[in-house]
Amino acid sequence: MTPTETPNPSQLPRISVLISGNGSNLQALIDGCAAGRIPARIVQVISNRADAHGLTRARQAGITTAFIDHRLFADRAAFDAALANKIQEASPDFVTLAGFMRILTPALVQQFLGKLINIHPSLLPKYPGLNTHARALEAADTRHGATVHFVTPTVDAGPAIVQGILNIQPGETLDHLKSRVHALEHRIYPQALAWLVTGAVRYADGQTTWQDPALTRNRPQIIREDAPLALND
Ligand code: GRF
């Protein structure tokens, strides 16, 4: 396709997004698709919470939404089976977790392995789990950020695609740090999805693999808060 050709929306890779809350990362993905920076189409947004603001964002963008209440299921496996069915209804090429606050079962992860990515608010492997910003401040870290990674059965441990890195400011408050990391997330997640849908990056043999042989296998790309993209910095 030449740059002047407008892609037929029905031929674009199909994206499903799973959320639980505000959906600011979802919005960044919606905006990236609308602007053509991500050559893909979000075809479905699923939330496990009815009051997730991200559902409103999706509806405003004309995207099909679904709500599946995890509290109505006997266990995690039953919820994930219903979730997998709902995802399959949309036949997505890729599934993105954007603040989806449920741990996925290995069965669901295996079903979408290599097609499933997540954004996590720390420089993994540092600080998997919750309260990442507070933990970075408590540890007096000088650097912090966010990671987009392929999802594997171990929580927050899949191979990284890209990391957004910032320097923690002296005396920085939790809220300030959190908002800076969020802003970085809104840069790195659309970029990661664009790489994924164009085949620039893929999951192979448990690793992140780059199409460009000049890029080091199994190393994430780096985006710094105050600088443009630097490949394999
Ligand atoms: C983000 O900080 C993301 O890294 C984490 O959950 C948060 C979601 O925020 N996984 P939002 O709902 O996208 O605003």
At 31-80, the pLDDT tens digits run 999 999 999 999 999 999 999 999 999 999 999 999 999 999 999 999 99
| pLDDT top residue among 65 and 227 | 65
Q: Whose CA is nearest to atom 8 of ligand 1?
A: 99
pLDDT in tens, 169-222: 999 999 999 999 999 999 999 999 999 999 999 999 999 999 998 887 778 999
In this structure, the residue with its CA closest to atom 9 of ligand 1 is 99
Task: Give tens-digit pLDDT for 18-27.
Answer: 999 999 999 9
Cα–Cα distance, 147 to 164 (Å, whole number) = 6
Q: Is the pLDDT of residue 233 over 50?
A: no
Position 98 pLDDT exceeds 90: yes
Residues with CB under 6 A from ligand 1: 21-26, 98-99, 119-121, 146, 185
11 CA → ligand 1 middle, Å:
29
Q: Of all helices (H) and strands (E), which one includes residue 14?
A: strand 14-19
Catalytic residue status for 120: yes
pTM of the predicted structure, to 2 decimals: 0.95
| pLDDT confidence bin for 4, thresholds 50/70/90 | low
pLDDT value of position 215:
85
Of all protein residues, the one whose alpha carbon is nearest to atom 7 of ligand 1 is: 99
Contact 202, 45 (CB under 8 A): no
Ligand 1 atom nearest to CA at 121: 4
Task: Summarize pLDDT for 114-149 with one digit per residue, the tens.
Answer: 999 999 999 999 999 999 999 999 999 999 999 999
Residues 6+ apart with CB under 8 A from 150: 113, 114, 116, 117, 158, 159, 161, 203, 208
Longest CA–CA span in the chain (Å) reads: 52
User: Residue 147 Cα, ligand 1 centroid: separation in angstroms?
Assistant: 11
How sure is the predictor about 112, in pLDDT bands with cuts at 50, 70 and 90? very high
Residue closest via CA to ligand 1's atom 2 equals 121
Q: Which of 70, 120, 149, 186 is catalytic?
A: 120
pLDDT computed for residue 217 by the predictor: 74
Ligand 1 centroid to Cα of residue 172, in Å, is 20
The pLDDT, as a whole number, for residue 9 is 80
Pick from 19, 57, 119 the residue to mutate for probing ligand 1's pocket: most ligand atoms within 8 Å of its CB: 119
Contact predicate 79/101, CB 8 Å: no
Q: What is the pLDDT of residue 1?
A: 47
For helices 24-34 and 53-60, the axis angle rounded to 10 degrees is: 10
pLDDT value of residue 219: 85
pLDDT of residue 33: 98
Does 229 have pLDDT greater than 70? no
From ligand 1's centre to the CA of 1, what distance in Å?
34
Q: How far is the CA of 119 from the centre of ligand 1 (A)?
A: 7
Ligand 1 pocket test, candidate residues 17, 19, 24, 25, most atoms within 8 A of CB: 25
